[in-house]
Structure 1
Amino acid sequence: MTTANDIAAHNVNLDEQHPDAFRYKCASEHVEVVKKLWDSFEDDAVLHDNDSGRFFDPAKIHPADHRGEHFRVTAPLDVVRSRQGHPVIVQAGQSDGGRGLAAATAEVIFTAHQKSDTAQDFYRDIEARATALGRDPSHILVMPSVSPFIGRTEAEAREKYDRLAGLILEEDGIALTKGLTGGTLDLSGVDLDGPLPPDAPTEGMESRQALIRQITDENGFSFRQLYQHVASARGHFTLIGTPGQIADILQDRFENEGAHGFNILPPWLPSGPTDFVDLVVPELQRRELFRTAYEGTTLRENLGLPFPETRWAVQHRLAHAAE
């Protein structure tokens, strides 16, 4: 719904994508509607009473009854609440609109930052926005994406990176870069071993365009080196090193307000995840930064997120408190 390109718009019967502000306003209402549907059944609505033949208590099933600017939904959802209350709400995006939506609705945020200072700025900005909206910022987890190339030596890790980069076809690298920068760069006849051409600003893609430009400038990449670098992780944080070196960087981000955790993007399958699990996880466990057993049986419990009350439970609680 918040994706900037027209291809996403075509999937919802639009010829072109709506402006950035409209998309995020619509997305905010969409979350409101979905939460109302998830709240259709109160937690104790299902009785399973064989003796009386009552499967549920009709008084504890509620229609969404939503009438908004973009959505009109009446009926209740015909699915009971899950063991998590409702699924964990995950958001990705770091534009101003994306941050606003995340602070208001998200429980986990995927983001992309190459440097510690920008990661910290994002982390603190989300906390400040959530607090201003009356949310507990500890109920929002910032989890940047990381693409790790891991070797038992630096040379082995670099060899893995170079081997994968060498497999990228030129036409795919050009198409990938064009897509990541909003599709407006004129890449016809581009010198692959020259610099990245100037940006043509695209609404809704500003943060990604800035990220791609930052990666280029800070590393002194040619166009070819740029698309090789971003191909595996689409501009997310790429790490190349030994288990200890990877763990050092993750620990620094985690302990210095840069991340609550990480979304691992393995560069390839199936051995990419195995490299991280077998080589980096034991190092993180040695440092007491990674669990050795799960805390619960649901994703919500293992992320340390609270069980969400239904709006009906909140109403009942407030009514009892007022008596």
Structure 2
Amino acid sequence: MITVLQTQPQNTVQDLGRFGYRELGVGTAGAMDGVALQAGNILLGNQHDAAALEIQTFPFVVRFDEARFVAVTGADAKLDLSGQPFLPWTLKHVEAGQTLSIGRPAVGARVYLCVQGGIDVPAILGSRSTQLRGGFGGLEGRFLEPGDVLKTGDGHERHSLCGALPPGQRLEQLDPEKNVIGLRAIPATDYFRFSEDARHRFWNTDWKISPQSNRTGYRLKGDQVLPESAVELRSYGVVPGIVQVPPSGEPIVQMADANTAGGYPRIASVIEADLWRLGQAPVGSRIRFVQCDHAEGIAAMSAVTLYLSDLMRVASLYQGERTTLSQAVS
């Protein structure tokens, strides 16, 4: 079990999300950086979608009430295990009674504390993710609080030397300039409702993520982009990545807790392969949309899949070496 000693609002239990219920008004929820969550689970030998702790406000401190392997992925944060530092993106064996402190990241926005066996909370509609709007999933459908006790599932012992390169060091990046995050996006259904000038500004503006951003959507500050004429659309299905333009002319990118339906004009959609990068962009970051097509979006997702499959192969090799050594000693 894990006891939460110190936490701030917004920290929750998340897995890869809750799928198949959007037509009933139930969003997916799930990790904002699904690549980091899967990588941590692969290192631990968990199921890829095992639940972990998504931490986005700091400091965060927990005590381990039983020995466990852990992997901390996502943002580059300072990690302290009972007075001893250790690196993110590596396996670490934690003894019963030790405390783990996670400080504010130097780079990135969200940290994932993945634990051997996963976080064992009830699965609701096929997922353990916290659905904040509905008040269910995770731990009682709410943010974590000091004093919360979390159970962990059964897991396999791992080779503690195993680690991973963060996806930012392996996957292609399209950052147009220093301190600007490039995000590939495909023109969406209402793209041509916008004038040529508005479309040009959309692709060439360095948008700033505003403080009015959260897991539901990122609101962007920059030059206005508006349809050529006012339009009222019937509500349509919404998924993470859709870029809507409200009457203010400042786009909103739907995120993991995206609404299930909406009516604002859709100018573009961030490709699935780049959503993890947006999920790691802190408030105040600058982003620029880079136009691509469906074929490029599919190819980019194939690269993410390859990154995860390569990590699984390496993690399996480490575990295989450990098993062989144990057999030789016995």
**Same fold? TM cut 0.5:** no
TM-score (norm 1): 0.26
> Which one has the bigger helix percentage?
1
Q: Which has the larger radius of gyration?
A: 1
> Which one has the bigger strand percentage?
2
TM-score (norm 2): 0.26
